[in-house]
Structure 1
Amino acid sequence: MPTPFIHDTEGDSHKADLSYIEAASKAIAPVLKSGDLVVLESTSPVGATEQMAAWLAEARPDLTFPQTHGESSDIRIAHCPERVLPGHVIRELVENDRVIGGLTSKCSQRAVELYKIIVEGECVVTNARTAEMAKLTENSFRDVNIAFANELSTICHELNINVWELIALANRHPRVSILQPGAGVGGHCIAVDPWFIVDSCPEHARLIKTARIVNDDKPKWVLEQIKQQLDQIHQNKPNVSRASIKVACLGIAFKPDIDDLRESPAMGIAEQVSALGCQLMIVEPNIHQLPKTLAQSASLVSLDEALVQADVVAVLVKHKPFIENTAKLINLAHIIDAVGLLNTK
């Protein structure tokens, strides 16, 4: 699990909440004994492993720790960030390379011995701070590149250019590999981890911060496209009330073909649509019931039901069942395609 943000009243805090690591440290401290290894796997800001070691030392003054006794310490401490893809966790736990950063060389060695019991990939040794930064960097790299694609999509919309055709053409260059735009960036990693870098070094993390802002703004842009379709319906049919208009959101998971709704831009869009006064229909083939934030204001329906009843359809996630039914979607009068489902170029 990742380290969450500290929640403030405005909901825009980007400082890491280390209270969970502190609580876990205090929970295991009573059972520690000389020779034990403690590994922090949670994706955390730089310095979190050292802070964990300090909490453990405070709780157990009868034991020695790497920060004070180096290689001769009673307890070994390391950071080894997880690298797994939802839906493939067990396979990737075994097959993926692991970055292992101990507070000392012997800490790293002990951690490697542990992980090699199950890991078939390479265990690459570094220090704890670099291991922490490695995971943040991996997810920030993805975030920055997605932001480039998302920004292209909004520019191309203004210039009346098919962004998916444009990207396909640009990617014919042997050294260009642009990602696909979408409704935003979600999940518990890519949408969160870059902020840890920004918070740790705000005066230098300018590109990383800008990418976060671009990706956080993309759902707002998609929502504006939905509003424009609603306005168009009102213009064409002035006597139609907002409450009688049905909007179908196709997909609320944070990525295709999973049931994970954490930090999902699509779900955020759906929640905003529910506040527009229209009837909201959700098509999410990977869940059996709506989350609490949508349960009172929306209905979970099948794709066929949505296509028959909805006045406006917004494709927010590129799930396989939607791809398989593209032909049913392509000629709809009021459709927003945030993921390139209908792209025929």
Structure 2
Amino acid sequence: MNNKTISIIGLGYIGLPTAAVFASRKIKVIGVDINQKAVDTINRGQIHIVEPDLDMVVQAAVSAGYLRATTQPEPADAFLIAVPTPFKAGNNSDHEPDLRFIQAASRAIAPVLKPGDLVILESTSPVGTTEQMAAWLAAARPDLTFPQTHGEASDIRVAYCPERVLPGHVLRELLQNDRVIGGMTPKCSEAAAQLYKIFVQGECVVTTARTAEMCKLTENSFRDVNIAFANELSIICDKLDINVWELIKLANRHPRVNILQPGPGVGGHCIAVDPWFIVSQTPDEARLIRTAREVNDSKPEWVIDKVKLAVADYLQANPDKTAKDVTIACFGLAFKPDIDDLRESPALSITLSIAATHPGPIWAVEPNIAELPTSLVELATLKPIHEALANAAINVLLVDHRQFRQLEDMPLGKVLDFKGIWVSKDKNLKKENI
């Protein structure tokens, strides 16, 4: 592959780091994205997302001429599709996946395909999506042959290879983590494995496309079930007046127990989404997976109720005040610590809900963003950490960002700590933990 060209379709949190890593190996990479602003930013050698060290890799790759971004697909030898797979809009209790972005990407690259090309789907997808993608490609290019009809003799190779990286550590994990590669035929798998071996230091494990699709969904469903246990435990402990953080720490001293930490919910475009793909396809069988999702999806409402009770308690203790006088500071909007990613963020949804109903000032404290998301602009004010600590009446800790963990001074107002980091640092806050 040393003299070949790779095209990455979708230059977001997965596509751009993947493009940068390939380009760092002196492979010509053409990045494709419909966002003109993102394309222009990348072509200046800059990045439009927050990911440690990615800016340096992109700058070097662009300067050396190995990475270029565009809004329209161009001919290449391998195409990696890394576009979103959201839920369909509307009243959908089983959160049916929306594959329109994968379909659009397939139709976009179809005109530039040629015999011998490799197409890999990286987007997290329901079982069978790779086959559907191949069908879309075949419909658009009847002059070419595809694995579903011509097997090993097909003109185009098609495979599925899910990303399995942790935001904030994407570059390292892209290199070090094993990759599960599911080709539609053994030759498809072999071609995909050879491509990833350009930079992957871990093992490239070959399986079928359907198994690879289910593997990604299984990994995130497993974590979701474990988090749901911790979240349910936190609700139980609150009712029984037990410090859940201390309880989990003690229980984890058992050599075969490893309970995760509870929080205000589960976010991001993986754990909060992928389990529903299994439920949507097998609703009668995926009972535990569905229940875990429901537990985690319901946790933000429980948090919001706790905030409302805190406001009521404050007003009872300060009868000269009204709700308009109560400033609530929400610490963290991202879906996990130390990133700027707000996708499917329970912290953001909680802040939005509080801001929509509370008549007093709402302060958002999020050190990883420079401006509030559009949905929150007219409802809240972005505030620096120390101003909120000193002036808010109620402080709601939703994300355990590094800046919050390292604080020496605790908030002066009432604290609702949904991550257990301030409670563990200040014994005076013990009664305020959730």
Q: TM-score range by the shorter chain?
A: over 0.9
Contact persistence 2:84–2:101 (CA under 8 A): no
After superposition, give the CA deviation of every residue in 1:36-73 in whole Å (9 maximum; x if it has no partner). 11110101000000000111111111111111111111
The residue type paired with residue 418 of structure 2 is: A
Of residues 83-92 and 224-233 in structure 1, the stretch that sits farther from structure 2 once superposed is 83-92
- SS of 1:343's equivalent in the other structure is helix
Work out the percentage of aligned pairs sharing the same amino acid: 63
Cross-structure match for 1:340: 420
1:327, distance to aligned residue in structure 2 (A): 4.3
Q: Is 1:17 aligned with 2:98?
A: yes
RMSD value, Cα: 1.4
Q: Is 1:174 aligned with 2:255?
A: yes
After superposition, give the CA deviation of every residue in 1:9-28 in whole Å (9 maximum; x if it has no partner). x4766111111111111111
Change (3 A) 1:2 1:139: farther
Cross-structure match for 1:105: 186
Q: Is 1:250 aligned with 2:331?
A: yes
Out of 131, 153, 156, the position equivalent to 1:50 is: 131
Q: Partners in 1 of 2:413 and 2:136 — Cα distance? A: 60
Contact persistence 2:94–2:280 (CA under 8 A): no
Out of 251, 276, 282, the position equivalent to 1:201 is: 282
Contact persistence 1:247–1:311 (CA under 8 A): yes
Q: Partners in 2 of 1:249 and 1:18 — Cα distance? A: 34
Cross-structure match for 1:59: 140
Cross-structure match for 1:266: 347
- SS of 1:342's equivalent in the other structure is helix
Contact persistence 1:187–1:264 (CA under 8 A): yes
Contact persistence 1:2–1:189 (CA under 8 A): no
After superposition, give the CA deviation of every residue in 1:246-302 in whole Å (9 maximum; x if it has no partner). 000111111111111111101111101102212101111111111111111111111
Q: Is 1:322 aligned with 2:401?
A: no
The residue type paired with residue 86 of structure 2 is: P
Alignment of 1:220-259 (within 5 A): 220-259=301-340
1:35, distance to aligned residue in structure 2 (A): 1.1
Q: Is 1:211 aligned with 2:288?
A: no
The residue type paired with residue 158 of structure 1 is: K
Q: TM-score, normalised by structure 2?
A: 0.77
After superposition, give the CA deviation of every residue in 1:157-181 in whole Å (9 maximum; x if it has no partner). 0000000110011000000000000
Question: More relative contact order in 1 or in 2 (CA 8 Å, sep 6+)?
Answer: 1
Q: Partners in 2 of 1:94 and 1:233 — Cα distance? A: 51
Q: Partners in 1 of 2:282 and 2:263 — Cα distance? A: 28
Change (3 A) 1:174 1:337: same
The residue type paired with residue 368 of structure 2 is: N
Of residues 142-151 and 317-326 in structure 1, the stretch that sits farther from structure 2 once superposed is 317-326
Of residues 223-232 and 300-309 in structure 1, the stretch that sits farther from structure 2 once superposed is 300-309
Q: Is 1:311 aligned with 2:393?
A: yes
Of residues 11-20 and 42-51 in structure 1, the stretch that sits farther from structure 2 once superposed is 11-20
Q: Partners in 1 of 2:176 and 2:318 — Cα distance? A: 58
Aligned length: 342
Alignment of 1:70-81 (within 5 A): 70-81=151-162
1:190, distance to aligned residue in structure 2 (A): 0.6
Q: Is 1:143 aligned with 2:224?
A: yes
Q: Partners in 2 of 1:223 and 1:142 — Cα distance? A: 24
Cross-structure match for 2:432: none
1:237, distance to aligned residue in structure 2 (A): 2.7
- SS of 1:131's equivalent in the other structure is helix
After superposition, give the CA deviation of every residue in 1:53-105 in whole Å (9 maximum; x if it has no partner). 11111111111111111111111110000122212222222221100001111
Out of 242, 267, 273, the position equivalent to 1:186 is: 267
Q: Partners in 1 of 2:215 and 2:94 — Cα distance? A: 23
Contact persistence 1:2–1:44 (CA under 8 A): no
Q: Partners in 2 of 1:198 and 1:13 — Cα distance? A: 7
Of residues 45-54 and 300-309 in structure 1, the stretch that sits farther from structure 2 once superposed is 300-309
Contact persistence 1:40–1:81 (CA under 8 A): yes
Contact persistence 2:329–2:362 (CA under 8 A): yes
1:236, distance to aligned residue in structure 2 (A): 2.2
Contact persistence 2:315–2:321 (CA under 8 A): yes
The residue type paired with residue 108 of structure 2 is: A
Q: Partners in 1 of 2:172 and 2:152 — Cα distance? A: 34
Q: Partners in 2 of 1:233 and 1:91 — Cα distance? A: 46
Q: Partners in 2 of 1:76 and 1:269 — Cα distance? A: 44
Of residues 191-200 and 307-316 in structure 1, the stretch that sits farther from structure 2 once superposed is 307-316
After superposition, give the CA deviation of every residue in 1:124-168 in whole Å (9 maximum; x if it has no partner). 000000000001111111111000000000000000000011001
The residue type paired with residue 281 of structure 1 is: W
Runs ≥4 in structure 1, deviation > 6 angstroms?
Answer: none
- SS of 1:129's equivalent in the other structure is helix
Contact persistence 1:326–1:342 (CA under 8 A): no
The residue type paired with residue 377 of structure 2 is: A
Cross-structure match for 1:114: 195
Contact persistence 2:399–2:419 (CA under 8 A): yes
After superposition, give the CA deviation of every residue in 1:192-211 in whole Å (9 maximum; x if it has no partner). 00000000101010011001
Of residues 333-342 and 202-211 in structure 1, the stretch that sits farther from structure 2 once superposed is 333-342
The residue type paired with residue 112 of structure 1 is: A
Q: Partners in 1 of 2:146 and 2:405 — Cα distance? A: 54
